[in-house]
Structure 1
Amino acid sequence: MARTSGPETREKLIRAAEEIFAAQGVHGGQLRDVVALAGQANPSAVQYHFGSREGLVDAVMAGRQLRTNEVLAPLLDAAPDELPALLTTLVTAEASELRTARGRRCLRISAQLSHESGVRTRTPHPTLDGTPYWRLFERIEACLAAPPAALPEPLRLERLDLALTVVGAAMADRARQYLDGVEPLTGEALFLADLVATTSALLRAAQPRSGEDTETSRKDIP
């Protein structure tokens, strides 16, 4: 088995992790399988180069963010502060990962991690901090806070987090179909346009009744 070191070994481990985690799950994939697929003799290679499984996952996501940030940054600079335009920017950047097998695998991985973005607490995950993605999230939230249909902060943060989960899940499923050679129900252009429209409708849904009314209605639930 060939032995390598330094940046070359790190890259091999990252590529192997993309394959294993996409197929078996971020938490289900075995690190020993990653090490073996990367062609490394040292069973502790992941710990040596990344410190932990979490460190390896962060490295995978950092590479994915680097690629999509290159697409997102100029689109975000040109986008007006309007919800459909901002969501189109997000979906377009995410869809750039559908072009390659590597990107498709990373979409399957990132969908498993959408709840770790930090949107709900306004504390960005280290791979998102200071990136065009985080600026995009802030601009989308600002749209939800603007009159005449402004949402209260807790509700808009929950909705934004849910919207990101929906986009991530939809992209991951599309990526799975491409990887498996399955013919999607819709063409890609329609899929992306519908994802923007669906996510926009989710974010713009009318605010529910007051908390007091909601609590009262819960008492009627057996």
Structure 2
Amino acid sequence: MPRTSGPETREKLIRAAEEVFAAQGVDGAQIRDIVTLAGQSNPSAVQYHFGSRAGLLDAVMAGRLARTEAALAPLLAAAADDGPALRELIALLVTAEATELRSDRGRRCLRISAQLSHESGVRTRVPHPTLAGTAYWRLICRVEEALAAAGLPEAVRLERLDLALTLIGAAMADRARHYLDGAASLTGEELFLADLTGTTTAFLLAAAPRTEGVPHE
């Protein structure tokens, strides 16, 4: 009988969860499928190692964030004294996120994290616990500062920033799906990333709408 204890089993469960969460969706994934794929016969293996389904998902995302941080932190540090414009900040984020496209594991995690983009805490300025103190969150704060300098009202810039992260996540997840399925993409990766950077920047910097005469619900 396969053991349910030890770091090797824990890693097998994380790898299996990445596959199942990506294929079935965060809400639709069946824990029994994860346990089976990990080669475990004990149905309580997830609870033993992670405490709960949510704990397993957090572990998957912690690994994904660690890889992105390793790419983003040096990029952000190098740009720290240059006062980068908004487009450069978005380019740093897109470049770091795109490193997950290099492997099937990263591609699966992009598909998972796209479903969780609204949990970042941007709208309330309270980061998700996994993002507190990270280069990712520091970059988000700098993007908001750039939007404030551009004259966008607070509510508008926070909502746009949250939606921009959703846009980037969805675009990356779609590209990841193409790679995983072996499907052809309309554009090469370099053009895709450049267009995603430009499109996101343009969205963020669009003129704030006038509220006069706009109906409110």
Which TM class, normalised by the smaller chain length? Answer: over 0.9
The 1-side partners of 2:104 and 2:110 are apart by 10
Asked if the contact 1:81/1:139 (under 8 Å) is kept, the reply is no
Listed one character per residue, the Cα deviations across residues 86-120 of structure 1 (whole Å, up to 9, x for unaligned) are: 00000000000000000000000000000111101
Whichever residue aligns with residue 3 of structure 2, its letter is R
Equivalent residue, structure 1, for 2:102 = 99
The 2-side partners of 1:57 and 1:2 are apart by 22
- Which moves more between the two structures, 57-66 or 123-132? 123-132
- State which of 105, 109, 112 in structure 1 corresponds to 2:112: 109
- Which moves more between the two structures, 42-51 or 110-119? 42-51
The 1-side partners of 2:172 and 2:106 are apart by 11
Equivalent residue, structure 2, for 1:47 = 47
SS in 2 for 1:158: helix
The 1-side partners of 2:42 and 2:97 are apart by 35
Equivalent residue, structure 2, for 1:205 = 206
Asked if the contact 1:3/1:39 (under 8 Å) is kept, the reply is no
The 2-side partners of 1:196 and 1:2 are apart by 46
SS in 2 for 1:213: coil
The structural deviation recorded for 1:4 is 4.5
SS in 1 for 2:14: helix
1:191 aligns with 2:195: no
Whichever residue aligns with residue 197 of structure 1, its letter is G
Asked if the contact 1:72/1:133 (under 8 Å) is kept, the reply is yes
The structural deviation recorded for 1:54 is 1.1
1:85 aligns with 2:91: no
Asked if the contact 1:107/1:175 (under 8 Å) is kept, the reply is yes
Asked if the contact 2:71/2:99 (under 8 Å) is kept, the reply is yes
Equivalent residue, structure 2, for 1:138 = 141
Asked if the contact 2:167/2:200 (under 8 Å) is kept, the reply is yes
Identity rate, percent = 73
SS in 2 for 1:73: helix
Whichever residue aligns with residue 69 of structure 2, its letter is N
Q: Which structure 1 segments of 5+ residues have no match?
A: none
The structural deviation recorded for 1:213 is 2.7
Equivalent residue, structure 2, for 1:62 = 62
Equivalent residue, structure 2, for 1:31 = 31
Equivalent residue, structure 2, for 1:163 = 164
Equivalent residue, structure 2, for 1:11 = 11
* TM-score using structure 1 length: 0.93
Asked if the contact 1:22/1:109 (under 8 Å) is kept, the reply is yes
Asked if the contact 1:81/1:143 (under 8 Å) is kept, the reply is no
Whichever residue aligns with residue 54 of structure 2, its letter is E
Q: Which structure 2 segments of 5+ residues have no match?
A: none
Asked if the contact 1:69/1:132 (under 8 Å) is kept, the reply is yes
Asked if the contact 1:111/1:169 (under 8 Å) is kept, the reply is yes
Asked if the contact 1:101/1:179 (under 8 Å) is kept, the reply is yes
1:214 aligns with 2:196: no
The 1-side partners of 2:130 and 2:62 are apart by 6
The 2-side partners of 1:161 and 1:143 are apart by 15
Whichever residue aligns with residue 96 of structure 1, its letter is T
Asked if the contact 2:4/2:42 (under 8 Å) is kept, the reply is no
The structural deviation recorded for 1:202 is 0.5
Equivalent residue, structure 2, for 1:118 = 121
